[in-house]
Amino acid sequence: MDQTRVFRFLGQVETCRVVLLMVLVFTVVLGLQYFELTPFSIVSPNNGTVTKAREPNDVNKSAENETFLASPEASSGFRPRNDTAEDLKSFEHKFVNDSPKASGQSRGNATASSLPSLPPKIPQSNKKHHERSTKKPPLVVISITQMNNMILKRHSDPHNSLAPRWGSKVDKELETARNQIKNAAFVKKDDTLYAPLYHNLSIFKRSYELMEQNLKVYVYSEGDRPIFHQPEAIMEGVYASEGWFMKLMESSHRFLTKDPTKAHLFYLAFSSRILQQKLYVRESHRRRNLVKYLRDYIDLIVSNYPFWNRTRGSDHFFTACHDWAPAETRGPYMNCIRSLCNADVGVDFVVGKDVSLPETKISSAQSPNGKIGGNRPSKRTILAFFAGNLHGYVRPILLNQWSSRPEPDMKIFNRIDHKSYIRFMKRSRFCVCAKGYEVNSPRVVEAVLYGCVPVIISDNFVPPFLEVLDWQSFAVFVPEKEIPNLRKILISIPVRRYVEMQRRVLKVQKHFMWHDDEPVRYDMFHMILHSVWYNRVFQTF
């Protein structure tokens, strides 16, 4: 290389530097604008640590004013934006652990978390606490096929049921139902249920009928509002599933009984979201008072009624959509059928006992399903779509891999505005539902309602209604480590197979819809209740 060339080369390097600097300045300016719009979170550019998590500025006010929850910007005087659901959740994620040691290990200090000297923690179902860092992949990955087998195994093994301490006629009724389901007459086709969606249509259909004919649920009247018995306070936002279920359950003519001796199931009508809003002390990084509140409730139930003692809680159930719910309902609640949005089989969700609660993002309680629909397969020109904040460890990997690649059929973005988000969902063949801080995401239900085949990239997430739905028949499960092969995996799905999958997505929509006032057969309310019923029936021996 002669000197002039060297200088020219150095000159190019200078130009590059200048360009880089300009890009940097531009990014910082954009970043500043961005954070002005989201006043509750400040991210340090140096180390990426969230130094101040978004918190409700007034716990009482925010609980009374659901508008605040649905769109924080609206009440803070900024232009209303239609955030992706996770934004609303972001502020809570800092304190996944109760222990000061764990919460001291701040997000972003990657060095500390990747030190090889830390002994690997293998999740074990007999361990009392299995907290896990939300910034690291799980050590043990359980595939969807394995989950299906775990359910079958649990439901056929009497050792997994807790024998009641004394008998009751409801035990006999459950046993009869179990035998009737097992001996269900073979059903090849059905007018309302599309057979390929289910592990076994005959079994599902029979179990559902028997639920309609027999199931009686008792709701304890104990429990103070608004944490208990006040679904109206939680009908919108990303945690609304627990509110909708509570509302429909507490007003159900068909399933409720006032006589607890006739009940097959006992419902604990609380909201995990309102519990957090009311009792979580800002900046305390502790939620022991929340746990204690729930424990005191069980103590009350245990001393006032014999029913909990009879089955040690295994015929009791609740629905809880807040991310902390799994951790708050350990201890005495562990035997209950826990219906959780945060359904993580790598933590302590027990498939075959617990029930995955669909997370639904509800913008308006008047129209809980939003505007469903989308293009037919031939008009879906985008291969894969994702947009959302960079929560957790999976999304940065996804974006690094795909956001700046030349393939124009991969639309992988950071957050985008709501209108575009919906437009992409309706025009894409596959909608990526990538893990955020937790395994669950409202995208799964959104994708289904927009007729987009869900691509679930969230190791150990237990999808809703797995007891009966054959998820692999209408969704794609991509292990987190296969993110670099995402496009290859999707384009390898033959067109005919895709068209059939998309058809199934449309057929499964009815299971993911809410109905006000009077729930409709096979809708979301009934499907949640059915999974609880099914797991109870197959765990009484």
Print the SS3 string covering 510-526.
HHHCCCCCCCCCCCHHH
Q: Which parts of 19-170 are beta strand (E)?
A: 42-43, 50-52
The least CB distance from residue 368 to ligand NAG, in Å, is 12
* Partners of 52 in beta bridges: 42
Q: Which parts of 9-138 are beta strand (E)?
A: 42-43, 50-52
* Partners of 266 in beta bridges: 218, 316
Of 70 and 147, the one with the shorter C-beta distance to ligand NAG is: 70
Of 256 and 302, the one with the shorter C-beta distance to ligand NAG is: 302
Look at residues 252, 251, 233 and name the one whose alpha carbon lies nearest to residue 243. 233
Helix, strand, coil share of the chain (percent; to 5): 45, 10, 45
The least CB distance from residue 221 to ligand NAG, in Å, is 16
Residues in the site for ligand NAG, rule: CB under 6 A?
44, 46-47, 49, 51, 58-61, 64-65, 67-68, 74-75, 82, 106, 109, 111-112, 182, 184, 186, 200, 202-203, 302-303, 305-306, 309, 363, 417-419
Contact indicator for 396, 414 with CB cutoff of 8 Å: no
The least CB distance from residue 532 to ligand NAG, in Å, is 21
Neighbours of 9 (CB within 10 A): 11
Q: Is the bond into 464 cis (omega within 30 degrees of 0)?
A: no
The least CB distance from residue 526 to ligand NAG, in Å, is 21
**DSSP class of 193:** S
Of 371 and 481, the one with the shorter C-beta distance to ligand NAG is: 371
CA angle 195, 199, 200 (to 5 degrees): 65
Of 172 and 371, the one with the shorter C-beta distance to ligand NAG is: 371
DSSP string, 399-437: HHHHTT-S-TTEEEES---HHHHHHHHHHEEEEEEE--S
Of 121 and 199, the one with the shorter C-beta distance to ligand NAG is: 199
* CA 436 distance to own-chain centroid: 10
Query: Kind of pairing, strands 50-52 and 42-43?
Result: antiparallel
The least CB distance from residue 20 to ligand NAG, in Å, is 22
CA 57, 63, 66, 69 torsion-angle sign: positive
Query: Phi and psi of 246, rounded to 5°?
Result: -60, -45
Of 160 and 180, the one with the shorter C-beta distance to ligand NAG is: 180
Of 345 and 449, the one with the shorter C-beta distance to ligand NAG is: 449
Of 77 and 158, the one with the shorter C-beta distance to ligand NAG is: 77
* Partners of 432 in beta bridges: 455
The least CB distance from residue 161 to ligand NAG, in Å, is 20
Checking phi first, is residue 515 left (phi over 0); if not, alpha (psi -120 to 50) or beta? beta
The least CB distance from residue 266 to ligand NAG, in Å, is 14
Of 401 and 472, the one with the shorter C-beta distance to ligand NAG is: 472
CA 243, 244, 250, 256 torsion-angle sign: negative
The least CB distance from residue 211 to ligand NAG, in Å, is 17
Of 268 and 455, the one with the shorter C-beta distance to ligand NAG is: 268
